[in-house]
Structure 1
């Protein structure tokens, strides 16, 4: 990686706005995670980066399928889903199906000064007392979205493509510090959403350990 890339990675956590709402209804929990960043480009260019297969491959990953209303898509080695709503170049909504779990993702693009803002909302409804949420909290998916938004920043700001070997990238000092920082930020968002401080901090530490391949602290 170049020095400019290292600088971008170091500054990236502070360029992103993160939000979390958690609502419980009996044994059901509904969460909405939001991640947002402004980029020095037009809404139209940002739309192309978020919807065209050749652009998505450069910063997010290989995506195949029928990119139209009602069509289905597949992210290589990750989620699949259906396009539920689409209004170019403003927003689209898709299902996010991974294993037996299904949630919903909406991407919104808006003008922001001389640039354009990318906002992603990830909605999930499930068991309020699930072991997974208790163990990892919002960071399990939040850190993944932070890594995706980092890829978009590199693509639009430095012109670089996502690392050919994400595992090797994850071993670099810059990437590891990035993961530690954004995992802590999702822990902070969890506290603001009502999670007790101790539980949110513990979940963030477990999330960090998971992404870095380190032993989890008891």
Structure 2
């Protein structure tokens, strides 16, 4: 198995449907295991200083019902915060459609199972849109988890780039490979949820 195949196999990918404040939405689900205790992972997701160290500056009234801003990425409201197991926020990118981000954490023998759910009312949010250079949610959220994991392991991360096309060649290759996986999962989901044929 190649190094790329190993990286792709670390993540579980699926689709679902969800009702969010903005309406009926499609939802992608990313599952990954992190080898740190749940309290450490929660702290890295909720402490503004730590979020700023590996992702982007986080400001706002960081409590349930409070408004937040993640510099360059999103503004929204904290809808639910049940430490250390679940965080739900509305997600409004600077030039995009409203969505909702939910992160579940579960303790598994001292490690942490992370399940990241992202729902959007935009149909093409999950995979690369060839007409725009914006992040696709599927591979994009996987890179967020990469950065979280690197931070938890004490590895330095460069500042995030505004678009995936600005990444280094090896990262672009991984991004494209992850996008291919998301396209496959999306196609399977659409086959399973295709409208039934009308009676003759």
TM-score range, shorter chain: 0.7 to 0.9
The yes-or-no answer on 1:190 pairing with 2:190 is no
C-alpha distance in structure 2 between counterparts of 1:131 and 1:171, whole Å? 22
TM-score normalised by length of structure 1: 0.71
| Matched pairs, number | 180
Which residue matches 1:88?
A: 83
CA RMSD of aligned residues (A): 3.0
What do the CA deviations read for 1:121-152 (whole angstroms, capped 9, x no partner)? 112235xxx67789739x82112101101111
Q: Shift in Å at residue 100 of structure 1?
A: 6.0
Gap regions ≥5 residues in structure 2: 193-200
Matched, 1:51 2:50: no
Q: Is the 8 A contact 1:10 1:178 kept in 2?
A: no
- Whole-angstrom distance in 2 between the partners of 1:190 and 1:167: 25
| Kept after mapping to 1: 8 A contact 2:56/2:72 | no
Change (3 A) 1:13 1:156: farther
Whole-angstrom CA distance in 2 between matches of 1:40 and 1:18: 19
Equivalent position SS for 2:121: strand
Quick one: which of 39, 63, 68 aligns to 1:68? 63
Q: CA deviation at 1:36?
A: 1.6
- CA contact 2:86–2:104 (8 Å) conserved in 1: yes
1:112 paired residue number: 108
Structure 1 position 166, deviation (Å): 3.2
More helix by share: 1
* Alpha-carbon contact 1:22-1:193 (below 8 Å) kept: no
1:141 pairs with 2:137: yes
Equivalent position to 1:102, from 90, 93, 98: 98
1:175 corresponding residue in structure 2: 171
In the superposition, the TM-score normalised over structure 2's length comes to 0.77
CA, structure 1 residues 177+133, in 2 after alignment: closer, same or farther (shift >3 Å)? closer
Structure 1 spans left out of the alignment, 5+ residues: 1-6, 197-218
Partner Cα separation in structure 2 for residue 185 and residue 134 of structure 1: 9
Counterpart CA distance in 2 for 1:77 and 1:111 is 31
Tell me if the contact between 2:90 and 2:98 (Cα under 8 Å) persists in the aligned partners: yes
Cα drift, residue 20 of structure 1: 0.9
CA deviation map 1:146-184 (0-9, x unaligned): 110111121123x12321363799542321221111111
